[in-house]
Amino acid sequence: MDDFIKIILPVYFIIYFGIAFVLKSIVVAKRIGKNPLVLPNDDSAYGLIGLYFKLTLIAMFIYVLAYSVFQKWHDTFLIIPFLDNELIKIIGLGLLAISLIWTIIAQGHMKNSWRIGIDKETKTELVTTGLFGLSRNPIFFGMILSLVGLFLVTPNALTLLFFILGYVLIQIQIRLEEEFLIQEHGQKYIDYKHKVRRLI
């Protein structure tokens, strides 16, 4: 199982970010004629959240690569013994697979409204169908599933930190986006907010 995880984790994260973010961004950019990556590079609270999120993702990817190449390092990150067993790892791998499929489907439902960040220059359609009928933030929910999956596959203090930090940053980003969507779509978004839960 450990040898399989050493191979599958980096492959998974390359596929996840390659399809769900890079490829999707390229496709949407061609359709709308602009870069859908709209995270600011300033020292505002919004810019700071974006920076921390990028750093967390980079740190996670470095961890996954290091785990695959230097697996014994896993022992130095304070393993959580009662979670470090084959059944939990299988559950974690299942969550990673569900996360990937769920995120790709949710992005498909967003169509040209897909953005990484808040686009204040271009008015986008409010998507309320498909997975957005189950969750107001299905892509963020998929990302949270991937954080939980990584933690269960390699349960230690560092992946727990990734989960906590990622979860907090996602929750802050969601609230920033909600404020913008209320300004952008008004009562339509407020009604949607009352009908559909924030995550699931």
Q: Are 144 and 170 in contact (CB under 8 A)?
A: yes
Containing H/E element for 64?
helix 45-69
Chosen CATH of 2-195 out of 1.10.1740.10, 1.20.120.1630, 1.10.3720.10, 3.40.50.720? 1.20.120.1630
Q: Tens digits of per-residue pLDDT, 63-121?
A: 999 888 886 776 778 889 999 999 999 999 999 999 999 999 999 999 888 788 888 88
Q: Are 169 and 53 in contact (CB under 8 A)?
A: yes
- Amino acid at position 196, single letter: V
**Distance of alpha carbon 132 from alpha carbon 158, whole angstroms:** 32
pLDDT of residue 68: 86
Q: Tens digits of per-residue pLDDT, 116-171?
A: 888 888 788 899 999 999 999 999 999 999 999 999 999 999 999 999 999 999 99
Cα-based angle 194, 100, 117 (whole degrees, multiple of 5): 55
**Distance of alpha carbon 141 from alpha carbon 167, whole angstroms:** 10
Question: Of 97 and 31, which is predicted with more confidence?
Answer: 97
pLDDT of residue 60: 93
